[in-house]
Structure 1
């Protein structure tokens, strides 16, 4: 599951690499909605270690999503 953090390597393709206030979901190539759908299909149809990787990727997308909105909400307080 920790290896699924390698999906963040697509952040180096962005210009600028980091931009405050930008969500990675829907912006970086491996964080797009079609890719998230493929990760979901992987959970449904893959077996063994491949399913674990798909679960890890979905969890990664969820944490990126909630992290962005949590910090956005927190900054408004």
Structure 2
């Protein structure tokens, strides 16, 4: 079972990063869903803060609360951005990114 979860984790993680924003875009920004999807996928640039860590990638590290753009302060800024219509799509993308990374942290606890 642990081997199955180890394989499933990255599949779920990257599906949530790339496919789920399309669904969110279609549901919440239907009149411009394709543009919204691209903007939300572009928020993946938030992972540039991983370049500050050593090692850059550690499959056992939870990025929430560790990397600067994944900090609780940053998440607070992303929530505030929801209140500004021009920043709303970016905010939704960033917050869903944080949610995806948070669920990945939960998987770390499941499979060690």
TM-score bracket for this pair, using the shorter chain length: 0.7 to 0.9
TM-score by length of 2: 0.61
Contact in 1 for aligned 2:75/2:95 (Cα 8 Å): yes
TM-score, length of structure 1 as denominator length = 0.86
Alpha-carbon distance, 1:72 to partner: 2.5
More helix by share: 2
Q: Take 1:68 and 1:40, find their aligned partners in 2: how far apart are those partners?
A: 20
| Corresponding position: 1:72 with 2:109 | yes
**SS, match of residue 23 in structure 1:** coil
Structure 2 counterparts to residues 1-40 of structure 1, below 5 A: 1-40=40-79
SS in 2 for 1:25: coil
Runs of 5+ in structure 1 lacking a partner? none
Aligned length: 73
Structure with higher Rg: it is 2
Structure 2, unaligned runs of 5 or more: 1-39
How well do the aligned residues superpose, as a CA RMSD in angstroms? Answer: 1.3
Find runs of 4+ consecutive structure 1 residues off by over 6 angstroms.
none
